[in-house]
């Protein structure tokens, strides 16, 4: 059974950094693209970034480009989102999600989310 566990959220001051992790199990991690999607409190979904199965392709939303870095370790089945220069508008529940086998841009399994709060 596909299992994604998001972790690393917390309260951080504006301008500081935070590192989120997504631990995967129940599938061949190295065969799937993985995304981060966030949801501000009471709001809709916003795509953040995606990394291909072999990490050769990484794309970011304009809102985080240059501040967030997405990496993966296929030997440990872990995805890491390094978030720098955080802003209050980055406050959200962050989900990692697996890309579908039909297209890595269809999100077929999601973690439960980890909450990031950016506040002074």
Partner 1 sequence: DFVMTQSPDSLSVSPGERATFNCRSSQSVFNRSNKKNYLAWYQQKPGQPPKLLIYWASTRESGVPDRFSGSGSGTDFTLTISSLQPEDVATYYCQQYYGRQITFGGGTKVEIK
* Of 63, 60, 115, residue with least CA distance to 89: 63
Give the pair of three-digit tokens for residue 107.
């999100």
| Residue among 94, 74, 67 at smallest CA distance from 7 | 94
List beta partners, residue 45.
39
Please pick, from the candidates 5, 8, 23, 45, the single residue that binds partner 1 as defined by CB under 8 A.
45
105 lies in the binding site for partner 1 (CB under 8 A) = yes
Residue from 58, 108, 115, 117 binding partner 1 (CB under 8 A): 108
Kindly state the smallest distance separating residue 13's Cβ from partner 1, in Å: 27
In what side-by-side order are the strands of the sheet with 18-25? 3-7, 18-25, 78-83, 68-73
Nearer to partner 1, 47 or 80 (CB): 47
53 binding partner 1? (CB under 8 A): no
C-alpha of 41 from chain center: 17
In whole angstroms, the minimum distance from the beta carbon of 111 to partner 1 comes to 7
Which residues would be at the binding site for partner 1 (CB under 8 A)?
Answer: 35, 37, 44-47, 50, 59, 61-62, 95, 97, 100, 102-103, 105-113
């Amino acid at each position: 059974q596909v299992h994604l566990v998001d972790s690393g959220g917390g309260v951080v001051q504006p301008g500081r950094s935070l590192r989120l992790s997504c631990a995967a199990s129940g599938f061949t991690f190295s065969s799937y693209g993985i995304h981060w999607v966030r949801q501000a409190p009471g709001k809709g979904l916003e795509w953040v970034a995606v990394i291909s199965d072999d990490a050769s392709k990484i794309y970011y939303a304009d809102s985080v480009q240059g501040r967030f870095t997405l990496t993966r370790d296929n030997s440990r089945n872990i995805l890491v989102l390094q978030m720098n220069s955080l802003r209050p508008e980055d406050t959200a529940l962050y989900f990692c999600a697996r890309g579908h086998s039909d297209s890595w841009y269809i999100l077929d399994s999601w973690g439960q989310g980890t909450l990031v709060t950016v506040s002074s």
